[in-house]
Amino acid sequence: MTNETASEITPRNNVLGNVPEMSVSELAFSLKRTLEETYGRIRIRGELSGVKVAASGHMYADMKDEGAVINIVCWKGVMSRLSLMPEDGMDVICTGKVTSYPKGSRYQIVIDSIELAGEGALLKMLEDRKKKLAAEGLFAPERKKPLPFIPHSIGVVTSPTGAVIRDILHRLADRFPRPVLIWPVPVQGDNAADKIAAAIKGFDSIQSSGAMRRPDLLIVARGGGSLEDLMAFNEESVVRAVADCSIPVISAVGHETDTTLIDYVSDLRAPTPTGAAEMAVPVRANLRTQILDDEKRLVSGISRLFEEMRHRLTAQAARLGDPGRILEVKTQSLDHLSQKLVSGFERGLSGKRTRMLELGAMLRHPKDRIAEAQKILSIRTDSLMRVRNKLLDEPQKRFVHAGRMLETLSFKSVLNRGFVVVRDDQGKPVTAADQTRTGQSVRLQFEDDKLVDAVIGKGGKSKKPAKADSQGQLF
């Protein structure tokens, strides 16, 4: 390094040496204070992405447009007060303050309110939510419950102030007065959806056996307003509360042209709150008139029916004869048939008696039949005794001849000539020398049928033939 170069560097080092030294934390928190003091509260528009709610209840997400991405945070306490639940893809406007997260070296916006950016984004969100709920079957026609013809009591979920509740009560009083239970709720603003859903569930949980009878019909109503004003009735919690309610529900939200998601899930949609009251009950005066008219028609119909039956009975009676004369003819016919029956029975009985006497004469006394059978048995016995000797002579001769042949062929005749039968320990005859072994036990049978046990000696089994003058050692 040349001296010229060193002289150029030295002043610059002196300048840098005048900058105060800061720690990382000091710089990070200094930037944080600068951001918060410079910007304060801001409103920012963008598209939500990566929305996550931590186990602590805090929400973390990103807001982006075509050129940049900013982190946003919403604390747990603020989440419950938001007018809508953030979802990925929403085009929203968030209000909050700019700050930084020193440990991550990034800046972020802590929001305290959120709203959809324009009616188009709101309609898109509602359409997506409608498709989601419809896919679950919440809008299916078969889920709709029939409304009672005359409900015992009616529950109304609406604001306690305003023209809506007055119109409903006035129209019910004009048409058919019924007891009305009002569950007051806010119909727009923060937490309105949660309170409306809680009111519907509260009516559904009432036990009929208690002091307060459970309503037979519910009316969920509010007056007209903008799309943002009616958002509470588009919330998923309200739609699911209506779907789970076992009481029939009439939705009467807004004017006839207004449509909310609760209209699709309710059992009946009314164009206005006044229309809901008209659908809930019939007109009592008209009902009385109809009952009286039906009574007259019923009495008239029964009278005509009786008159017609009376004419038919008269016509049938005219076609019938005098019952007394008909009975006389039938009585006389019965007498004739009774006489024929008695005479026929007597003739049949007399014929059977005669046949019995004829058959009895043909029968022989049992003693005579036994005596005749004994004579036949004696004759046959004598004949059998005469032929018996002829039948037995020939078999006896054959039997004697066979006995002599058996004695001649018997091995005992051989024993009489001095021979002996040798048997092994199993009683089988030993017929050859190779069937024996030294030390084998054998049994000898002699002429007088005596049996003697013996043991074969060393010469009992030999491969060489024995000498003619030697018998070996049998014992």
Higher pLDDT: 305 or 316? It is 305
Show the tokens assigned to 324: 């007394």
Spatial CA neighbour of 72 closest among 31, 42, 28, 27:
42
pLDDT digits 0-9 by tens, 246-284: 999 999 998 888 889 999 999 999 999 999 999 999 988
pLDDT at 465: 39
| Termini Cα distance of the chain | 138
Q: Which amino acid is at 357?
A: L
Higher pLDDT: 74 or 212? It is 74
7 three-class SS:
helix
Q: Which residues have CB under 8 Å from 373's CB, separation 6+?
A: none
Q: Do residues 31 and 23 touch, judged by C-beta distance below 8 A? A: no
Give the pLDDT mean for 406-435: 78
pLDDT at 104 over 50: yes
Q: Do residues 460 and 472 touch, judged by C-beta distance below 8 A? A: yes
Higher pLDDT: 188 or 467? It is 188
Q: Which amino acid is at 301?
A: G
Q: Where are the domains of the chain?
A: 17-117, 126-139+151-281, 410-475
Q: Which has the minimum average pLDDT: 12-16, 57-61, 68-72, 84-88?
A: 12-16
Spatial CA neighbour of 113 closest among 74, 87, 59:
74
d(CA 441, CA 426): 10
d(CA 302, CA 282): 28
Alpha helix stretches (DSSP H) within 363-430: 366-409, 412-415
Would you say domain 17-117 falls under CATH 3.40.50.12280?
no
Higher pLDDT: 425 or 108? It is 108
Entry pTM: 0.47
Q: Do residues 178 and 192 touch, judged by C-beta distance below 8 A? A: no
pLDDT at 294: 92
Continuous segment of H or E residues that includes residue 268: strand 268-269
What's the pLDDT band for 428 if we cut at 50, 70, 90?
Answer: confident
d(CA 280, CA 216): 10
What's the pLDDT band for 400 if we cut at 50, 70, 90?
Answer: confident
d(CA 17, CA 29): 23
pLDDT at 204: 92
pLDDT at 471 over 90: no
pLDDT at 325: 76
pLDDT at 119: 62
The alpha carbon of 193 is separated from its chain's Cα centroid by a whole number of angstroms, namely: 36
d(CA 137, CA 52): 27
What's the pLDDT band for 118 if we cut at 50, 70, 90?
Answer: low
Domain 126-139+151-281 belongs to what topology? Answer: Rossmann fold (3.40.50)
Other Cβ atoms within 10 Å of 396 Cβ, number: 9
Angle at 51 between CA 47 and CA 55, to 5 degrees: 160
Higher pLDDT: 211 or 71? It is 71
Summary mean pLDDT of the chain: 83
